[in-house]
Each structure stands twice: as C-alpha cells, then as structure tokens.
Amino acid sequence: MSKFSILVLNGPNLNLLGKREPNIYGHLTLEDINKMLEQEATKLDVTLSCLQSNHEGFLVDSIHNALNHHQGILINAGAYTHTSVAIRDALAGVAIPVVEVHLSNIYRREDFRHHSYIAAIAIGQISGFGGQSYLLGLQALVNYLQEK
C-alpha cells in the first residue's frame, strides 16, 4: 500500500508562535513544530504537507485541494476553531478524516474558546499539551488510518 499523505493545517496567528503569548503557547516556533512533525512522520512512514494561513478562504481552499491528495488532515484552526462554520463545512464536505489539535487547553481558558465548530466532525481533539499536541494528534490520525 502507498504511504499515507497528511495535510497539516495551521490557522491565524500561529505564524507568530515563539513570540506570541509564550506563557500560553510556549516558546516553540511553528518551524520547530513542523520539524518535530517531520521527524515523527518519518518514523510513522507517512508524508506531510504543512501549511499556515491567516485567511479563512485560503484554509477552505486548502481543505478542498486535499481531496484526492491527502488521506488525513491535522488541523489547528486557531481562533477560527471558535467562529468558522465555513472551515467546518469544508472539512465535512471533503469527508477526509480530521484530528483537531490545540497547544493550550481551550477548556481552561475564556468561555468563548470552549466551543469548537470542528470538534463534532473530527475523529477527536487533543488540547493542552503544547507542541506535543501535534505529535499526539499525528500519531492518533495515522493509527486511525491504518486501522480503517
């Protein structure tokens, strides 16, 4: 069987990781996280495409473009998690298995972060483990795809 290909999508402000509210999001940059993910992907024998955008429409287009190219999506939609019906509908529309991740534990924070539009259409969600959330999410997604 050919290798699974995973789309890793990061939403708004995640390009600022490392300098953005480090007390909440830690000191790793997005580049650091992507490097960790690439190392894990090599171990898991899958390929990754990592994208970040501050624009909702770009994220929606990237999800559409994943059809026929990627078998799984790992997403940290940032603030769009709590606002974007469009991103949820795009994920539901392509019907590619998705795992939602967050660096911070969104349930320990402000009330407006407690609701995710993505959670109900995701396989699962990992929240609160910093950069480790992405690694756990990738492992869970690949395991799901292998078991399927």
- Specify burial of residue 3 (Cβ count, 10 A radius: 0-12, 13-18, 19+): exposed
**Residue 107 designated active-site:** no
Establish whether 144 is a catalytic residue: no
Nearer to ligand DQA, 49 or 132 (CB): 132
* 102 near ligand DQA (CB under 6 A): yes
Interface positions, 75-94, toward ligand DQA (CB under 6 A): 76, 78-79, 81
* Residue 73 buriedness (CB in 10 A; 0-12 / 13-18 / 19+): buried
Q: Which segments of the chain does DSSP mark as H helices, in order?
A: 22-25, 30-44, 56-65, 85-94, 132-147
Quote the least distance from Cβ 13 to ligand DQA, whole Å: 5
* Interaction residues for ligand DQA, span 6-35 (CB under 6 A): 13
Q: Is 65 in the site for ligand DQA (CB under 6 A)?
A: no
Round to whole Å and give the CA distance between 128 and 106.
7
Residue 116 interacting with ligand DQA (CB under 6 A): no
Segment near ligand DQA (CB under 6 A); pick from 47-55, 57-65, 72-80, 139-147? 72-80
21: left (phi over 0), alpha (psi -120 to 50) or beta: left
Residues near ligand DQA (CB under 6 A) are 13, 76, 78-79, 81, 102-104, 106, 113
